[in-house]
Chain A
Amino acid sequence: MLDVATLLERCRQGDDLAWEALVRQFQGRAYAVACHYMRNSEEARDVAQEIFIRIYERLDTFHGDEAFLPWMLRLSRNVCIDALRRRKARPPAADVVIEETVQLRSNAPTPEEASLAGSARELLYRAMDRMSDSDREILMLKEIQGLKVEEIAALLDIPTGTVKSRCNRARLDLAARVRRLDPSYGA
């Protein structure tokens, strides 16, 4: 795997191949983040493309002295929030009866379910699906994407102590939910 700093430098010089390599290297992460926020695989795919387009447009604003992943995740989060706002503002294409919506929501495969690799993943996604947005977000940033507490604090603009406590609470919540779905989990 190529060094990210080198790739970025080449990208800034207009090297197409470096840009392609960068997209290949981080496409999975961008898509996973988009899935976590959008909860819909088709939308997530479009949003992941938007993420890369924004990265491309703002490559010049990235400074080499900071880590690329937190910068990329901050951009990704902003793109996802913009997309969610647009979705909220957009009226539904057709009138749908509420009961039918609920039924559709529960039966439709979530983006994660569409790309499940095993039952443990399925279990985790089912448990996370029922968590609050803020808990899921902080879990995604810290436990899944592996950001540091300080980076998350800067990203969400909250104190580090709050990040720690919220993260611990979210982990315990997830553990409890997973055990409710499968009491043998972790045994």
Chain B
Amino acid sequence: MDRLDDFLEGRLNAADCREVEEHLLSCPGCRELKDLATGEEATMAPPPDLLGAILARTSGAPCGSARGRLCDHVDRILPPVDDDLVRAHLEGCGECGGLARALLRLAMDLPPLAEMEPGPRFVADVLARTSRRQTVAARLAAPLLAACRRLALRPRIAWEGAYAGAIVLLILFGTPNAPFAGVPVKALELVRTAQVAVPVASEEVPRIRTVVRSRWEETQAKVQGRTRVLETELKHRSLKTWGGFKQELGTLWERIASQMTTKDTNKGERP
């Protein structure tokens, strides 16, 4: 009887085995015990709700605990013992098993959702909205243009332009060391040479001079005539205005003087 476990698990030597077998033949109690341990009754399937009933009366349903480790089980980061425990639970629990399979499938189905097609015009639209700010030159060009426009709109820009132009001309032609210092003289010589070379043109010069002078005198006479008329008209108008003004002033003065007199009279009459 003491050696029944060892006998059943094959840990006895041949002599001891033979001895136990002889005892089992003669002892009905030990034979019954041996049949219980190895017979069909020993492996009888339990009722399906037995485990649930036992757990409900002891530790409660293990699904919560299993689900707490289910994601780690799917990700294969659970310690081996916990992993075996979860696996064992999944074999017996259809609901948790289904969840585990769904989690495995999600691990494959979710990553492809990381990208979605925004449409063919998307890149072009983004580039259109960012291109004007792309280079340093482009960034500087806009304020520079605006500053130039502001400068050009000022009233004294003409003066400043003329001044700057005069300085440039002076630098280029006016000083003895200027790069184009000899150019005007050369140009004059060239013109003179051309006048000599083209006699027809030199003959035309006195005639043009006469025409220009006569036109100039004509214009001068006209301008002088208009100026004289304007001057007379202005003098006449100013005299007329001045006369009216003097008259107004006299009337006003008389009125003020009469009021002052009336005031003094009233003061004298008062007791």
Cα–Cα, bound, A53→B103 (Å): 37
Chain A binding surface SS class? helix
- Among B101, B107, B116, the residue within 8 A (CB) of A32 is B116
1/0 contact string of B208-251 vs chain A (CB within 8 Å): 00000000000000000000000000000000000000000000
Residues from chain A with Cβ under 8 Å of B126 in the complex: 23, 27, 49, 52-53
Contact across chains for B101 and A186 when beta carbons are under 8 A apart: yes
- In the bound assembly, the distance between CA atoms of A178 and B113 in angstroms comes to 16
B109 and A120 contact, CB distance less than 8 A:
yes
B118 touching A16, Cβ below 8 Å: no
Cβ-Cβ contact count across A and B, 8 Å cutoff: 117
Which residues in chain A, 17-52, are within 8 Å of chain B measured between CB atoms?
A: 19-20, 23-24, 27-32, 35, 44-45, 48-49, 52
Q: Cβ of B107: which chain A residues have Cβ within 8 Å of it? A: 143
Chain-A contact segment, one of B21-29, B127-135, B173-181: B127-135
Q: Does A98 contact B (CB under 8 A)?
A: no
Tell me, yes or no, whether A156 is within 8 Å of chain B by CB.
no
| A56: chain B residues within 8 A (beta carbon) | 130, 133
Cβ-defined contact, B117 with A115, below 8 A: yes
Interface residues on B, range: 35 or more
Q: Which residues of A contact B125 (CB under 8 A)?
A: 49
Closest B residue to A176 by beta carbon equals B99
Q: Is the CB of A32 within 8 A of B129?
A: no
Interface of B (DSSP majority class): helix
> How many angstroms from the CA of A61 to the CA of B116 in the assembled complex?
27
In the complex, whether A108 has a CB less than 8 A from a CB of chain B is no
**B136→A171 contact, CB < 8 A:** no
Q: Interface size for chain A: under 10, 10 to 19, 20 to 34, or 35 or more residues?
A: 35 or more
Partner of B122, one of A31, A111, A176: A31
A29 and B103 contact, CB distance less than 8 A: no
Contact partner of B130 (CB less than 8 A), chosen from A53, A143, A144, A186, is A53
Q: Which residues of A contact B (CB under 8 A)?
A: 14, 16, 19-20, 23-24, 27-32, 35, 44-45, 48-49, 52-53, 56-57, 111-112, 115, 120-121, 124, 139, 143-146, 167-168, 171-172, 174-176, 178-179, 183, 185-187
Closest 5 pairs (CB-CB, A-B): A28-B115, A186-B101, A31-B118, A186-B105, A175-B102
